[in-house]
Homo-oligomer: A and B are copies of this chain.
Amino acid sequence: MRTIWHCYIAVSLDGRIARPDGSVDWLGEEGPPEEFGYDAFYAGVDAIVMGRATYDAVRAMGDWPYPGKPTVVVTRRPLPDAPAGVSARGGDLAALAAELEVAGCRRVWVEGGGDVIRQMLAIGKLDILEMAVMPRVLGAGIPLFPDGTPDTRWRLVSCTPRAGGALHAIYERAA
């Protein structure tokens, strides 16, 4: 069974996923996660892959929100006091992706954006793009799709307005 690589993320109207310092203080007005199908999505995720900036931001928020979910942090630096199930991996995302596929992961949450998204797209490991598009222009911050992201086509699956003016948009990678 093929592994599905799934980006699920909140993004500003100008395509940023965090302020320059990594903070997401501009989120929280978009209504409850249930509106975006979070519980069902999370239940179907076998593993999480994230960048170091995302890991650090999530860690700074308090209790680890993914207990027991295998999580790989793409980083060359050590992860002191990492929660159970969290491991660090440097460098080769293609090898990591192959391992997760061999391990039988049906769906992997590619969390965060920036370098990890760019690299996953470059090796053809991004199938679904699911976004909560917030009605906010930040004007600065970390882009979901940085310069150098591969030129790619997507198929619109659905787009639904949610509370607070957020859009719940789902795309599939086009052939």
Contact = CB atoms under 8 A, between A and B. Distances in A.
A151 B137 contact: yes
Interface in A142-175: 143-145, 147-156, 159, 161, 165-167, 169, 171, 174
A8 to B, nearest CB: 15
Contacts of A161: 156, 159
Contacts of A129: 13
Nearest to A152: B137
Contact of A159 (B139, B151, B167, B171): B167
Interface of A: 13-15, 118, 121, 129, 135-140, 143-145, 147-156, 159, 161, 165-167, 169, 171, 174
